[in-house]
């Protein structure tokens, strides 16, 4: 249920695909267990409470990636 805000499906999607959040994190190692940091938990809380969608996180991650690549 991408695009929808909140709900167990969105939270499950994040649990199964932590890279949705973590892909822009310098500490992220694909294939390794993700220990949820405070930022991850805060984003998960917003998704859980319906204030943020997974799609909005993905959009933000794209902007962060683009901005980061321009800074190098």
Q: Tell me how crowded residue 10 is: count the other CB atoms within 10 A of its CB.
A: 23
Of 1 and 61, nearer to ligand SF4 (C-beta) is: 61
Q: Using CB under 6 A as the criterion, which residues of the chain lie in contact with ligand SF4 when the complex forms?
A: 21-22, 25, 27-28, 34, 36-37, 39-40
Determine contact, residues 28/22, Cβ cutoff 8 Å. Answer: yes
Determine contact, residues 26/37, Cβ cutoff 8 Å. Answer: no
In the complex, the smallest distance separating the C-beta of residue 58 from ligand SF4, rounded to whole angstroms, is: 14
Determine contact, residues 55/17, Cβ cutoff 8 Å. Answer: no
In the complex, the smallest distance separating the C-beta of residue 28 from ligand SF4, rounded to whole angstroms, is: 4
In the complex, the smallest distance separating the C-beta of residue 71 from ligand SF4, rounded to whole angstroms, is: 18
């Amino acid at each position: 249920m991408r695009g929808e805000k909140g709900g167990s499906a969105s939270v499950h999607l994040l649990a199964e695909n932590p890279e949705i959040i973590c892909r822009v994190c310098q500490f992220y190692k694909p294939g390794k267990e993700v220990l949820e940091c405070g930022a991850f938990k805060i984003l998960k809380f917003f998704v859980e409470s319906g204030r943020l969608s997974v799609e909005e996180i993905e959009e933000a991650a794209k902007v962060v990636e683009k901005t980061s690549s321009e800074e190098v």
